[in-house]
Amino acid sequence: MFGQKPETDIGGIISAQFNKKLNKHFELGFEEEVRLVSNNTGFNRLSSGMGLEYTIIKRLKCSVFYNYMYMYDGKNNYESRHRYYINLSYKRALNRKLTLAWRTRFQGTYRDEDRGMYKINPKYVLRNRMEAEYSILGTRWKPNLSMEASYSLNDPMGNEFYKLRFQGGTSWRLDRTTYLDFFVRADKYLTEKNQQIISLGVGYKKNF
């Protein structure tokens, strides 16, 4: 129908990540990210995050993060949100080429009641992601594929899986500590009347 929003929108993601290894067990991380929507012509989100990761045993890690988000709601309103999450992750190389990784995340998001009325605030979510990474030997490229499912934890109407995220891309190693990531991400909402978003992304990562 004329004037109706399209079911799928094209977005963009630009990010920078910096990680500092403190000792054998602890690593500090910082991240900045900008998200665009409306065919990459409209602002959606600016986020700044920091966190601490702890290596429990080889391949098994846990981490805590805080993320500040400044968002546009599509109705000429801008809102600040605060997000906290706890990760548990496991990564294992099956051979020289293929690596599998799993991550579960408990996430809480606090929204500004002065900017809108929310039936759930804070909103608690459990997110699980599986990822496969393939090393092309003799090159600096590492293609990857992942799938993530998000499950609501405190919805008064009943908890359920409400979003799936599919992502494919590759990392390119510039040197021993610096990487560029290129990816395509598709977010599919299962229960809400949200637009489906396909995002093209590029990220910069530096390890110290």
* pLDDT of the residue at 125: 98
Q: What is the number of structural domains in the chain?
A: 1
Residues of the chain with pLDDT > 90, as a percent, come to 79
pLDDT band at 114 (very low <50, low <70, confident <90, very high): confident
Give the SS3 label for residue 179.
strand
**190, part of any domain:** yes
pLDDT band at 1 (very low <50, low <70, confident <90, very high): very low
Asked whether the beta carbons of 35 and 44 are under 8 A apart, the reply is: yes
**180, part of any domain:** yes
Q: pLDDT per residue over 7-50, tens digit each? A: 788 999 999 999 999 999 999 999 999 999 887 778 999 999 99
**3, part of any domain:** no
- Structural domain of residue 51, as residue ranges? 8-207
Among the residue ranges 31-45, 59-73, 178-192, the one predicted with the least confidence is 31-45
The residue-averaged pLDDT of 143-148 equals 98
Nearest to 116 by CA among 178, 86, 84, 71: 71
The identity of residue 116, as a single letter, is G
pTM: 0.91
* pLDDT of the residue at 3: 44
Residue 86 scores a pLDDT above 90 = yes
* pLDDT of the residue at 7: 74
**194, part of any domain:** yes
Q: What DSSP letter does each residue of 108-145 carry, written as one string?
A: EEE--TTT---SSSSEEEEEEEEEEEE--TTSSEEEEE
**1, part of any domain:** no
Q: Hey, what are 176's tokens?
A: 């021993």
**2, part of any domain:** no
CATH code: domain of residue 71 = 2.40.160.40
* pLDDT of the residue at 82: 97
**113, part of any domain:** yes
Place of tokens 């500040």: 68
